[in-house]
Amino acid sequence: MPIKTPNWVKDAVFYQIFPDRFAKDDRQREGLWQSPQLEPWEVPPTLQGYKGGNLWGIIDKLDYLQDLGINAVYFTPIFQSACNHRYHTHDYYQVDPLLGGNVAFEAFLAAAHQKNIKVVLDGVFNHASRGFFFFNDILENGPHSPWLDWFKVKEWPVSAYDGSLPANYIGWYDNRALPEFNHDNPDAREYIMQIAEYWLKKGIDGWRLDVPYEIETPGFWQEFRTRVKAINPEAYIVGEIWEDSRQWLDGTQFDGVMNYLFTGPTIAFAGGDRVIMEYVEGPGYFPYPALSAKEYGAKIEELLGLYDWEIQQTQLNLLDSHDTARLSTVVGEEKTSIELSTLLLFTFPGAPSIYYGNEVGLPGGLDPDCRRVFPHEPDWNLDVLDYHKKLIALRHQYPALRTGSYDILYADESVYVFARIKAAEELIVAINISDRTQKVHFRVTPQLKTRPDRVVYGKAEISWQGTSNNLELNIPPRTGCIIS
């Protein structure tokens, strides 16, 4: 059977929101429980402190997102939890009271859908937390708990908090705060399936799956897909997998993954030796060593060869996330590296995803610094915002930039040129990473039906030679352009 993915994702521009840090509404609301112990909004974030961002504040930002051109939001976890990032889930059926609870989420979902903005939630289904009811019962009742087989308890007594004693149960990455589900248990498995179904019935548009590669129970993700698609055939299922994902992208499991195989080479090409190693040696996406245009082209061809074209169009492409240092800081806030990377993001097959604040120049090192609050308007970099708006508008304007074929036309030391082609619509994208103006001359293969010669983004001089298919480009230093 041919692979089928959600059509709306092919036209999506995602915005990733870390809910504690994006926007805050301090007004009294039903279901919203704020605290006087919150960290001041403006001070640098800490590992355990809460800022108090909430869904009511995000509702107030929807006009901003719509004006930017966003038509899909991906939230990191929103369910009740005892940590600011909420990957330690207490209750999968309750939105965190600091965010405004279920009342606020229902209001957000309705407001977002009214503006034709899709909503994807983070599903943390590999592990829960010590405060999760079924595991907490084990802590209270020991071997008498009816929920023992929902988790991987090895010996007694279990020690959930005292690090001087063995935990005696399996926690994700040996973290006793994150007890792993036993996915071989049919009841635990069914519980997770019902969570996924519950929120889809409430109206969400998909799930981003946290560390799904950790769940090795045969048939688990196949069943997950079947049950999700039975409720909404257009629901998006995207996995957090940083490497070659062919095992999960066979059409029976996920529609895409967070495409770190695009992230690393793109930063290595656009940023080159400007990449600051202390920010990139830990996370496994490898935006180093510096790549030439030819080397970058080889990486991209390899990536585009990994998956079916239907899957390529629903990959979630990104330049950074809550798990990495922000691009701005990675490249030492060097503005051309950031713009060139962003240009490559918005002209690549798959759904581009902006990590909140990148569009206004928000910097940030490794966790927790990459999770800073969204800045006040006087602190925005308006030049960065301007080119984000232009690139998003162009992606919405030209179907070829969304679902057209991707053909590398030229790749030498510092100049990279490719075409996006959909029927009679043909665009050329050219990047010069050199500190000098570059003039290149080459025969365009495959031959284009049209001769794009109008620069709709950036700067370049274009010349087609007579009746031949030879193209000459004169590209200023460290710039890129889109030619229509």
Average pLDDT over residues 380-409: 98
> What pLDDT, on the 0 to 100 scale, is given for residue 63?
98
Q: Tens of pLDDT along 215-256?
A: 999 999 999 999 999 999 999 999 999 999 999 999 999 999
Q: Within its chain, how far is the Cα of 412 from the centroid?
A: 30
* Weakest-pLDDT range from 23-27, 92-96, 202-206, 244-248: 23-27
Does position 467 have pLDDT exceeding 80, yes or no? Answer: no
> What pLDDT, on the 0 to 100 scale, is given for residue 425?
97
Of 205, 240, 320, 426, catalytic: 240
Topology of the domain comprising 404-483: Immunoglobulin-like (2.60.40)
Does position 392 have pLDDT exceeding 80, yes or no? Answer: yes
Q: Within its chain, how far is the Cα of 3 from the centroid?
A: 22
Q: Is 413 known to be catalytic? A: no
> What pLDDT, on the 0 to 100 scale, is given for residue 171?
98
Average pLDDT over residues 317-335: 98
Does position 127 have pLDDT exceeding 80, yes or no? Answer: yes
User: pTM of the predicted model, to two decimals?
Assistant: 0.97
On whether the CB atoms of residues 229 and 200 are closer than 8 A, the answer is: no
| Percent of the chain topping pLDDT 90 | 96
Does position 466 have pLDDT exceeding 80, yes or no? Answer: no
DSSP secondary structure, 155-200, as one string? SSS--SS-TTS---B-BGGG-TTSBBB-TTSHHHHHHHHHHHHHHH
CATH architecture of the domain 7-126+181-397 equals Alpha-Beta Barrel (3.20)
Residue 336 CA to residue 402 CA, distance in Å, equals 24
Q: In what order do the strands lie in the sheet with 405-411?
A: 405-411, 415-422, 425-432, 479-483, 455-458
Average pLDDT over residues 107-128: 98
Q: What angle do CA 232, 233, 234 make, to 5 degrees?
A: 90
Q: Token digits for 257?
A: 């993954």
Does position 473 have pLDDT exceeding 90, yes or no? Answer: yes
* 251 φψ region: left (φ > 0), alpha (ψ -120 to 50), beta (else): left
Q: Token digits for 355?
A: 């990590």
On whether the CB atoms of residues 451 and 467 are closer than 8 A, the answer is: no
Q: Is 210 known to be catalytic? A: yes
On whether the CB atoms of residues 90 and 79 are closer than 8 A, the answer is: yes
Confidence band for 340, pLDDT divided at 50, 70 and 90: very high
Confidence band for 447, pLDDT divided at 50, 70 and 90: confident
On whether the CB atoms of residues 101 and 29 are closer than 8 A, the answer is: no
Of 96, 180, 210, 359, catalytic: 210
Taking Cα atoms as reference points, which of 327, 211, 325 lies closest to residue 269? 327
DSSP secondary structure, 45-99, as one string? P-SS------HHHHHHTHHHHHHHT--EEEESP-EEESSTT--SEEEEEEE-GGG
* Residue boundaries of the structural domains of the chain: 7-126+181-397, 404-483
For the purposes of burial, counting CB atoms within 10 Å of the CB of 195, is it exposed (0-12), middle (13-18) or buried (19 or more)? middle
CA 453 vs CA 272, 428, 473: distances in Å: 29, 9, 10
DSSP secondary structure, 21-49, as one string? HH----S--TT----TTPPPTTSPP-SS-
Does residue 186 have a cis bond before it (omega within 30 degrees)? no
CA 134 vs CA 80, 191, 442: distances in Å: 15, 11, 65
Q: Tens of pLDDT along 37-68?
A: 999 999 999 999 999 999 999 999 999 999 99
> What pLDDT, on the 0 to 100 scale, is given for residue 361?
98
Does position 1 have pLDDT exceeding 90, yes or no? Answer: no
Q: Tens of pLDDT along 152-201?
A: 999 999 999 999 999 999 999 999 999 999 999 999 999 999 999 999 99
* 385 φψ region: left (φ > 0), alpha (ψ -120 to 50), beta (else): alpha
Mean pLDDT (the chain, rounded): 97
Average pLDDT over residues 365-390: 98
Average pLDDT over residues 343-354: 98
CA 461 vs CA 437, 441, 474, 475: distances in Å: 11, 12, 5, 7
Average pLDDT over residues 414-430: 97
> What pLDDT, on the 0 to 100 scale, is given for residue 34?
87
